[in-house]
Amino acid sequence: MAPLNVASVRVAFPALQSGFLFADNAGGSQCLSTVVERISDYLLNTNVQLGADYPVSISSTSRVAEGAEAARELFNATSTDEIAYGSSSTMLIENLARAMEADVIEGEEIIVTGEHESNAGPWKKLAARRGAIIKIWHATQLSSAPNNPYAVGLQLDSLLPLITSKTRLVAFTACSNILGTVVPVAEVVRAIRERAQELGVRKVEVCVDCVAYAPHRRIDVRGWDVDYCYFSMYKVYGPHTSILYVRSATLRALSSLAHHFLDVSDKPYKLQPGGPGYELVYGCTAVPPYLRSLTPSGDLGDAFDAITSHEQALLTPLLTFLRDQADRGVRIVGEEQTVLARVPTVSFVVVGDRRIDSKDVVKAFDKKGDIGIRYGHFYAYTLVDSLRPALNVDDGVVRISLVHYNTVDEVNKIIAVLKEVLA
């Protein structure tokens, strides 16, 4: 496999030419110039209502359809009829929970994680409306770092006891936006379905949050056998919009949120009433070609393999440095080692006799003026609040989140500032 040509990659992102070091990518990546060009072209040349028979509308309708195809490819879904667009991941799951409401029975159970609230909050509210029960699949201590109480992750042996004959939905993350740990989705889903079958569950479905996963690894909804999956395009080099996969058979069973006179029983429009921002949908069509351009084969799987290889090179020096600061009170939150089940979203805290608040670590970077990192709970409130020894959930963790357009030189620049802060 050819190594990633990072110099060529960086040319595709105008913001990177400024010299600013973007290391808050889990909060939102930089946008491809080709994405912006397509948004502009749509608004300037095809900004009309869809579905009419005049030429400009035909072109506009075709462009939006191309956006659905781009999303289908990124999910590896079977059909564009399994794709819904929305303003945000949280809004899409709120819509999904509303559409599922009639098929949730009082006393049934919904399992969520303490990760990003987009895949927890809507289900909690649904449970409250329907008299269902919420259970939490908590992150637990990793055996790879027994002496670090902050080294936790979602582990299958903690999930299985939560599944009962009343389980209706399991909603979890494919990759933590705090821990950076990749969950083996196919293995987890297979175990859920096997246990549900053993227990005679009426109906169990799986919703996977791929927001922190999609920039780093290839999504495969068919291989994973999931019912629902979603991520935010603005974290995968696109515009501020999000996409949701819903398995065809599952979609037909959902209630429609669209106008009563529209026949959308088997169409994703039932989950996006009024339609998405069409220019943003068309802008998304630039993302798959960019990813395919990263390798000579033009294959998305190969592209993500190249991304993974480069990101491991970014991750190694950063984790090595942070591990070496254990005596100074630095504790990595999540997996401490550079492993394939780890993306370069790295969180840490500074504890002990010379504790430093997370906000003060970040403040030192802010004063430099040319590096962007962040602190907080990053909407994974329950996870951060559960970390022991207790953290101030509002101060949270320091998070450095890198993607494939970052360089090893940038990692070394970040480490140099950390050395000053920890001195």
Q: What is the pLDDT of residues 81-139, one digit of tens each?
A: 999 999 999 999 999 999 999 999 999 999 999 999 999 999 999 999 999 999 999 99
- 8 Å CB contact between 289 and 74: no
Six-digit token string for 110: 């919904």
Average pLDDT over residues 311-326: 97
CA-wise closest residue to 410 among 29, 6, 28: 6
Q: What is the pLDDT of residues 188-215, one digit of tens each?
A: 999 999 999 999 999 999 999 999 999 9
Give the list of residues 6+ apart from residue 317 with CB closer than 8 angstroms, or none.
408, 411, 412, 415
- Residue 354 phi/psi, 5-degree rounding, is -115, 45
Place of tokens 């026949």: 263
Q: What is the pLDDT of residues 284-301, one digit of tens each?
A: 999 999 999 999 999 999
What's the confidence (pLDDT) of residue 388? 80
Please give the Cα distance from 285 to 47 (Å, whole number): 16
- 8 Å CB contact between 346 and 316: no
Q: Where does 215-344 have alpha helices with state H?
A: 221-224, 248-253, 278-283, 287-292, 300-324
Tell me the whole-structure pTM to 2 decimals: 0.97
- 8 Å CB contact between 173 and 115: yes
What's the confidence (pLDDT) of residue 326? 97
Of the pLDDT bands very low, low, confident and very high (cuts 50, 70, 90), residue 2 is: confident
What's the confidence (pLDDT) of residue 338? 86
Examine the pLDDT at 1 and tell me if it is beyond 80.
no
Peptide bond preceding 389 in cis form (omega within 30 of 0): yes
Tally of CB atoms within 10 A around 263: 10
Q: What is the pLDDT of residues 393-405, one digit of tens each?
A: 999 999 999 999 9
Average pLDDT over residues 269-273: 94
Q: What is the pLDDT of residues 333-380, one digit of tens each?
A: 999 998 899 999 999 999 999 999 999 999 999 999 999 999 999 999
Q: What is the pLDDT of residues 150-193, one digit of tens each?
A: 999 999 999 999 999 999 999 999 999 999 999 999 999 999 99
What's the confidence (pLDDT) of residue 50? 96
Which of 1-5, 54-58, 66-70, 268-272 is predicted with the least confidence, judged by mean pLDDT?
1-5
Please give the Cα distance from 140 to 388 (Å, whole number): 11
Of the pLDDT bands very low, low, confident and very high (cuts 50, 70, 90), residue 390 is: confident
Average per-residue pLDDT for the chain: 97
Residue type, 43: L
What's the confidence (pLDDT) of residue 196? 98
User: Domains in the chain, ordered, with CATH?
Assistant: 6-30+299-422 (3.90.1150.10), 45-290 (3.40.640.10)
**Burial of 159 by CB count in 10 Å (0-12 exposed, 13-18 middle, 19+ buried)?**
buried
Examine the pLDDT at 149 and tell me if it is beyond 90.
yes
CA-wise closest residue to 34 among 325, 300, 286: 286
Please give the Cα distance from 62 to 225 (Å, whole number): 30
Please give the Cα distance from 358 to 352 (Å, whole number): 13
Q: What is the pLDDT of residues 80-96, one digit of tens each?
A: 999 999 999 999 999 99
Tally of CB atoms within 10 A around 135: 17
What's the confidence (pLDDT) of residue 391? 87
